[in-house]
Amino acid sequence: MSAIIIDGKARGLALRTDVAAGVADFVAAHGRAPGLTVVLVGQDPASAVYVRMKGAATREAGMVSGEHVLPSDTSEAALLALVAALNADPAVDGILVQLPLPRHIDTDRVLAAIDPAKDVDGFHPVNVGRLSAGLDALVPCTPAGCLLLITEALGDIAGKEALVIGRSNIVGKPMAALLLGQSATVTIAHSRTRDLAAHVGGAEIVVAAVGVPGLVKGEWIRPGACVIDVGTNRVTGADGKARLVGDVDFDSARTRAGWITPVPGGVGPMTIAGLLANTLKAARARAS
């Protein structure tokens, strides 16, 4: 079998086009565009690239992009004061504090200070709890994008065996909650799981989100499974050149899977599209 390669780039672009149309309707109805403000503390080059990409995508969708870049020695109190100001600003519908934060700042305290109605990352405990309880919530963008790709490939996933590899708050746990919300039978594997190969072998849906290059071997995969690779790992090839690889060994996995996302060009483009969708959702909820 040769897997269908899921084109996350095309799907992400389509979602961004839908969001842009929704933004135009919002502007017509409310006389202002939705606003997303991103806060970056420090100089991490990868984070700076993501923040630039998020700003460009926000403007391209017709929304107002705000950006605060703070020095890496910014105090927690100063960051909390900025978050409070953004919470109070009626032109700001979405607030995203780029992670990771410098070690002297308590990330949980900062995330909990964001108004849950503006929490477009879906990381505030209120949104985490609402997702877990099956209530309407702002949902983390990456797992929301993964679920879209999965349901477009498979249709109804009720009763399907789903394996989430990784238990992060950003991807693994919300992914499991979303799959459960669709009535899949969900297993979460993690670094202490004893027989990962056996779990992968039983899964009709595999979402790998651990950041270990090539962890999931093709021969483990159940033939026909839908494999979603969230890993974005920078490795140096035999030729000395850096390249991005996922958590799944793509070349072997594609010979057994039914559907598979490539890295890059799979899940990544869905994340920014999901962020824009969340910002529009937050703006609509705040305007109603």
**What residues are designated binding site for NADP(+)?**
166-168, 232
Number of residues interacting with ligand GUN: please give it, by CB under 6 A.
8
Of 121 and 249, CB closest to ligand GUN: 121
> Any catalytic annotation for residue 98?
yes
Going by their DSSP bridges, the two strands 185-189 and 94-97 should be labelled as unpaired
CA 260 to chain centre: 17
The partner residues of 188 in beta bridges, in order of sequence, read 164
Options 93, 98, 115, 160, the catalytic residue? 98
Structure tokens at 256: 């057994």
> Any catalytic annotation for residue 25?
no
The dihedral over CA atoms of 205, 191, 244, 57, expressed in degrees to the nearest 10, equals 70
R_g of the chain, CA atoms, integer Å: 19
Position among 98, 232, 261, 279 found at the interface with ligand GUN (CB under 6 A): 98
Options 54, 118, 160, 173, the catalytic residue? 54
Least distance (Å) from ligand GUN to the CB of residue 100?
A: 7
Position among 99, 112, 154, 180 found at the interface with ligand GUN (CB under 6 A): 99
Tally of CB atoms within 10 A around 199: 18
Contact flag: residue 170 with ligand GUN (CB under 6 A): yes
- Annotate each residue in 118-147 with x if it binds ligand GUN (CB under 6 A) or - if it does not, as one string: ---x-------------------xx-----
CA dist., res. 87 & res. 115, Å (int): 6
Of 70 and 99, CB closest to ligand GUN: 99
CB neighbour list of residue 56: distance below 8 Å, 6 or more residues apart? 65
Using the structure block, give the residue that is written with the tokens 């990784």. 166
Hey, which residues are catalytic here? 54, 98, 121
Binding residues for ligand GUN, rule: CB under 6 A, are 96-99, 121, 141-142, 170
